[in-house]
Amino acid sequence: MEHIAEYQQAQHIDLTWRSWLVVLISCFAIMAQVFVVVAAGSVIAFIIQDLGDPSIAGWIIQGPLLMQSVLLPIVGRLSNVLDRKYMAAVPPLIAFMGAYICAKATSMKMLIGGGIPIGVTLATVSIVQAIPSEVLPLKYRALANGFSFLGGAVGVLVGSRGAGGLTNRSPSGWRGIFWMQAAFHLFTALGFFFFYHPKKRSDTPRLTLKQILWEIDPIGSVLFISAATLLLLAFDLAGGAYTWSDPHVAAPLGIGFGLFVLFGLYEWKGRDDGIIAHVFFKGSPNFALSCFAFAVEGWILYSAVNSITPQIVLHLGFATSSWVISLRQLAFNCVTIIASIPITLYATKYKDLEWPLIVTFTFFLITTICYGCITPSWNKAQIGLNFTAPHAHLSTATGLGFSARAIGGAFGSAVLDAIINGKLASTLNQKITAAAVDAGLPTSSIPDFLEAMATGEGLTEVPGATAKVLGAAAEASQWAYARAYNLAWWSILPFVVIALIAVACLTGVSELMTERVECSVEKVEQAPLKKGDA
């Protein structure tokens, strides 16, 4: 109650262009980061056609997200003990170099390698997401998150449209995605360097290098990074390269789970101020519930909506052009932008974060069920399904919350790929062969026909591949893909239900939404923050 009373007696600060420009730069930084994970993922099928190596293509998405998930807690903690300005401004320069490598990539491995330094800037999302909330009064916390969300929504819009348009120009047009990334990252770095000048805390003590290392929780960080990397590697290898029982999958899966258990035990009993600080769970269950909701939201957005949905459009025959596929995603992107505005205004006016989350996760639930039932005949209906998926959340969680979101996205991509590829491996060729033979294809032509179906080239040159055979094979292929995608979407359903229950259990925070400005960029004198306020 003393803490709440202090917030309610906070000093009023007049906001000028300085604060709003910093908010704008932060929103641009969020847009650039969302662009990273959306653009390449939405045209991954076309990148595979150009560079090959489909078995490792999932790392185009998973690589940056893995870097984000493992570095987020560390970066978030460092930003509290070091200069936040440079923690926000330097990583985009590292991402600039990674984007340059990706744009020049001559192989899938080089492209994936370039994505690793790009992931470094994704780890700063806890900082750039927090900056608008810090430079604006607490009573505008929902408004600050609304602005940040709009930045992300624009990133989805620009990423999917830009990727589709660039890829449609030529087989290597996808390289333009990374040139755009490079420009975005450079602009972000310059913006923070020149315009973000947060007040330094007068009560923050100078730390030695040893103290700084202890602050980032070295033991917990190593356990967390190792566990996440091994688990993601196992899920990715199980997505097509190996079976679940193969040592290449079983070994990293078992070791990864073991290290994850050790990480949990260490954070629980080893220290109370580690990556998962015990203070996060005191007072209310909001932080734990929000982190889980973040993970499910990342699972849905980064993997199912952003990566799987365009593949559904392609493989179920709804569209074959990358540009047309990206245009179909407008049904989703436009709703996210439009819906976020009244949600933000409502949450700001009534200081209510719970009901917007309940409503939007309910829409997620409806969409998941519908996609779990999709068939090749749902061409027009698929566009309508996107209208029911407004991606809106208004959570105050930052570092660990976004880490959970990134983990959800990375693991979601790997798990859904494993489900889809496993189902296709056992049914696709079998159904195509049966349909083609029934339509008149000679059995001697089956190997050549399957190879031509896989590459999309030379189908008409296969002996006996008549129009009737091609039509039957195409329909069988579409149904095989439909069943695989159905299975993938149904696997998401239980998590959405649990996430919906979690957000329904959130407790109100209206009493904390006051005039308090935690880290103003205005030229005013502020009372020093007490230890533990940030």
Structure tokens at 532: 């533990």
Cβ pair 339, 392 in contact under 8 A: yes
Question: Could you give the CA distance from residue 272 to residue 166 in angstroms, rounded to a whole number?
Answer: 49
- How would residue 262 be classed by pLDDT, with cut points 50, 70 and 90? very high
| Selection from 33, 136, 26, 31 nearest residue 84 by Cα | 26
pLDDT in tens, 362-413: 877 887 788 777 787 776 666 655 554 444 332 333 445 566 666 676 677 7
| 3-state SS, one letter per residue, for 131-165 | HHHHHCCHHHHHHHHHHHHHHHHHHHHHHHHHHHH
pLDDT in tens, 21-69: 888 898 899 889 888 877 887 778 788 878 877 767 777 877 887 787 7
Q: How many CB atoms lie within 10 A of CB 312?
A: 24
| Crossing angle between the packed helical segments 286-298 and 399-438, to the nearest 10 degrees | 30
Highest mean pLDDT among 295-299, 413-417, 496-500: 496-500
Q: What pLDDT is attached to residue 100? A: 93
| Selection from 293, 325, 321 nearest residue 160 by Cα | 325
- How would residue 233 be classed by pLDDT, with cut points 50, 70 and 90? confident
Structure tokens at 159: 């990423």
Cβ pair 168, 322 in contact under 8 A: yes
Question: Could you give the CA distance from residue 296 to residue 174 in angstroms, rounded to a whole number?
Answer: 29
Cβ pair 518, 134 in contact under 8 A: yes
| Whether residue 291 has pLDDT greater than 90 | no
By mean pLDDT, which of 304-308, 431-435, 449-453 is the weakest? 304-308
Name the 3-class secondary structure at 494: helix
Q: What would the mean pLDDT of 420-433 be, rounded to a whole number?
A: 82
Structure tokens at 122: 């994704």
| Whether residue 438 has pLDDT greater than 60 | yes
Cβ pair 364, 496 in contact under 8 A: yes
Is 163 exposed, middle or buried, given 0-12, 13-18 or 19+ CB atoms closer than 10 A? buried
Question: Could you give the CA distance from residue 141 to residue 130 in angstroms, rounded to a whole number?
Answer: 10
Distance of CA 412 to the CA centre of its chain: 10
| Whether residue 526 has pLDDT greater than 90 | no
Q: What is the pTM of this model?
A: 0.63
| Selection from 135, 133, 153 nearest residue 143 by Cα | 133
| Whether residue 122 has pLDDT greater than 90 | no
Question: Could you give the CA distance from residue 101 to residue 116 in angstroms, rounded to a whole number?
Answer: 10
Q: What would the mean pLDDT of 333-349 be, rounded to a whole number?
A: 70
Name the 3-class secondary structure at 372: helix
Query: Strand locations in 171-231, DSSP E?
Result: none
Cβ pair 11, 527 in contact under 8 A: yes
Highest mean pLDDT among 223-237, 310-324, 517-531: 223-237
Distances (CA, A) of 52 to 40, 100, 277: 15, 20, 44
Question: Could you give the CA distance from residue 348 to residue 471 in angstroms, rounded to a whole number?
Answer: 55
- Give the residue, 224 or 137, on which the prediction is more confident: 224
Q: What pLDDT is attached to residue 392? A: 35
| Whether residue 227 has pLDDT greater than 70 | yes
Cβ pair 504, 358 in contact under 8 A: yes
Residue 216: phi and psi, rounded to 5, are: -85, 5
Q: What pLDDT is attached to residue 141? A: 67
Question: Could you give the CA distance from residue 177 to residue 102 in angstroms, rounded to a whole number?
Answer: 9
| Whether residue 355 has pLDDT greater than 80 | no
- Give the residue, 383 or 427, on which the prediction is more confident: 427
